[in-house]
Amino acid sequence: MTYAYDERLDGPLADHDKAAIVRDLQALLPDLQLLHAKEDLRPFECDGLSAYRITPMLVALPGTIDEVQTLLKYANAHGVPVVARGAGTGLSGGALPLEKGILLVMSRFNRILEVDAQACIARVQPGVRNLAISQAAAPHGLYYAPDPSSQIACSIGGNVAENAGGVHCLKYGLTVHNILRVEIVTIDGERLTLGSEALDAPGFDLLALITGSEGMLGVVVEVTVKLLTKPQSAKVLLASFDDIEKAGDAVAQIIAAGVIPGGLEMMDNLAIRAAEDFIHAGYPVDAEALLLCEVDGAESDVAEDCARVEALLRTAGATEIRLAANEAERQRFWAGRKNAFPAVGRISPDYYCMDGTIPRRELSRVLRGIADLSAQYGLRVANVFHAGDGNMHPLILFDANAPGEMDRAEAIGARILELCVEVGGSITGEHGVGREKINQMCAQFNSDELTFFHAVKAAFDPSGLLNPGKNVPTLHRCAEFGTMHVHHGALPHPELERF
Ligand SMILES: Cc1cc2nc3c(=O)[nH]c(=O)nc-3n(C[C@H](O)[C@H](O)[C@H](O)COP(=O)(O)OP(=O)(O)OC[C@H]3O[C@@H](n4cnc5c(N)ncnc54)[C@H](O)[C@@H]3O)c2cc1C
């Protein structure tokens, strides 16, 4: 089973082809919002990874599922690739358009269809913002747990496609653990329902498969999410350290002691100073590292867990520990963390956000490795990350206008991800592979494993038209990248020669 993805799909397109496609779509779907003038396409040329830019051939903003079905059927019949886009906050170039493709922007699907407080679920359209779900559930004392730092802007459709995480995912799980049912439209225009409102559904778990599939298997048109009851109490402790490795060890010790915090986040000195200058969260600017540890639950459990965590932090060598005095201070502590990326954007012309996951016990070793690489490549790196999950977010600071800096930033980023794989981790925790990390997939998976990924893709999308060139590298790309063994010029799977 193969699918015919061709990297040449990215090539330029003759104008008359585009004109014909626009004419066809206008005739087929008179109410479809279509953008095709050059100046209208500009805002869509990148996602949050702004170093990669491609102007799409045209942008479609459907408003109904019928329009999505008809458009995909047309694309399939005419061999036109389609890239779905939510809010465009992705950090791995997943929604990077194709010069020869349609960008299918789902932002008009922005309605919350139902909040069922009794069943603790909400049924929402894919363009609904993550935070809007919790806001709609709040009057019922409920909320949606996965909270990416981009939650004010990112869409639930994008969260499903990336299996997004966030500060509270250590205790409450990633997107995949917090959704019950997803409706998708396949490239041939079929509407499929994956999962159900029951805790388990018979058959293969296609809901899990679609989660994190980066728009390559189908377009998400509806999502049913689980809602949780707001914890009775939540307290956050801020611990300062004079040594980043001690902070890393403290994380492992807290989890090993059996406490599962609602959130356990770490920032290094560069990130602390940037966030404090921006948000005035009350952070200790002289600390080498800080940990934010939130415990939530029933009042009595929270008080007990806070005392345990405080004792553990002291034993691990914290120089200062502060309990947020009230809700306003708790929110301020989190605001500093949640705004750390834009804060770092204020101290450097450009930054490049990496996203690797490692076993928690390796935190100190990897942080040391990142510091060494930073010195070796002559680029500053700020660390701000979901420490409890072992999900690192090194932010590489550079100036794209300085000769060679962009290349050095990409090179150190690749080395950091390889380091994550070396210690038993993975090249992504929550931001996805997209276009950015496609080469590192060759380091993470062998050719047999990649062949299985291609077979799954082919089962949904035999012509390889949905988001080609992302997430799963071709075997040829891996051969070129130098991580696949090519014997006498032949790839390990001759039937896949054409990838
Ligand atoms: C400041 C900042 C902080 C961030 N913090 C976090 C964080 O804490 N945790 C985290 O996980 N991520 C974080 N992100 C990354 C990003 O917000 C997430 O990946 C988010 O899930 C992307 O959602 P989106 O709607 O913007 O999707 P987009 O960027 O538009 O698309 C992302 C991917 O999803 C696909 N897609 C989008 N909509 C659909 C659909 N309806 N059907 C099928 N495929 C679709 C696209 O093709 C693409 O592959 C952060 C980003 C920024 C800029």
Domain that residue 464 falls in: 447-496
Q: Which one of 154, 220, 264 would you pick to mutate in the ligand 1 pocket, going by the greatest count of ligand atoms within 8 A of its CB?
A: 154
* Nearest atom within ligand 1 for CA of residue 214: 49
Would you say residue 70 lies in a domain? yes
Examine residue 440 and state whether it is found in any structural domain, yes or no. no
Task: Please give the tally of structural domains in the chain.
Answer: 5
pLDDT for residue 314: 97
Count of residues in the chain: 499
* CA of 356 relative to ligand 1 center, distance in Å: 16
Main-chain phi, psi angles of 16, to 5 degrees: -70, -30
Question: Across residues 195-213, what is the average pLDDT?
Answer: 92
What H or E segment, with its residue span, contains residue 356?
strand 356-357
Q: Mean pLDDT score of the chain, rounded to an integer? A: 91
CA of 161 to the centre of ligand 1 (A): 7
483 falls within a domain? yes
> How much of the chain, in percent, has pLDDT values that exceed 90?
80
Across the chain, how many H-helices and E-strands are there?
17, 20
Distance, in Å, from the CA atom of 219 to the CA atom of 215, rounded to the nearest integer, reads 6
Residues 325-346 have pLDDT tens digits of 999 999 999 999 999 999 999 9
Ligand 1 atom nearest to CA at 221: 41
> Distance, CA 46 to ligand 1 centroid (Å)?
12
Among residues 291, 311, 342, the one where a domain terminates is 342
Q: What is the DSSP string of 265-289?
A: EEEEHHHHHHHHHHH-----TT-SE
Considering only CA atoms, which of 40, 68, 65 is closest in space to residue 55? 40
88 and 101, same domain (yes or no): yes
Does residue 398 sit in the same domain as residue 353?
yes
Residue 232 has pLDDT above 50, yes or no: yes
Around Cβ 272, how many Cβ atoms within 10 Å? 26
Q: Which residues line ligand 1 at a C-beta cut-off of 6 Å?
A: 47-48, 83-91, 94-95, 106, 126, 148-150, 154-155, 157-159, 161-162, 164-166, 214-215, 219-220, 341, 430-431, 467
Q: Which residue spans within 202-286 are E strands per DSSP?
A: 219-226, 228-229, 233-241, 263-268
For residues 441 and 214, give the distance between their C-alpha atoms in angstroms, rounded to a whole number: 14
- Residues 378 and 362 reside in one and the same domain: yes
Most confident of 261-270, 359-368, 416-425: 261-270
Query: Please, which pLDDT band fits residue 498 given cuts at 50, 70 and 90?
Result: very low
Tens digit of each residue's pLDDT (9 = 90 or more) over 364-396: 889 999 999 999 999 999 999 999 989 999 999
pLDDT of residue 11: 53
Q: How many CA atoms lie within 13 A of 38 on its CB side?
A: 1
Measured in whole angstroms, the distance separating CA 477 from the mean position of its chain's CA atoms is 23
Find the CATH number of the domain harbouring 359.
Answer: 3.30.70.2740
Tokens of 317: 């060598």
Measure the N-to-C terminal CA separation of the chain; round to a whole number of Å: 12
Is there a single domain that holds both residue 404 and residue 353?
yes
Q: Are 265 and 297 in a shared domain?
A: yes
C-alpha dihedral over 26, 161, 468, 205, to 10 degrees? Answer: -110
Q: Of 64, 71, 107, 150, which is best to mutate to test ligand 1, by the most ligand atoms within 8 angstroms of its C-beta? A: 150
C-alpha 247 – ligand 1 centre gap (Å): 29
Ligand 1 site-directed mutation target among 102, 128, 162, most atoms within 8 Å of CB: 162
Which of helix, strand or coil describes residue 353?
A: strand
pTM of the model: 0.90
Q: Which CATH number covers residue 252?
A: 3.30.70.2190
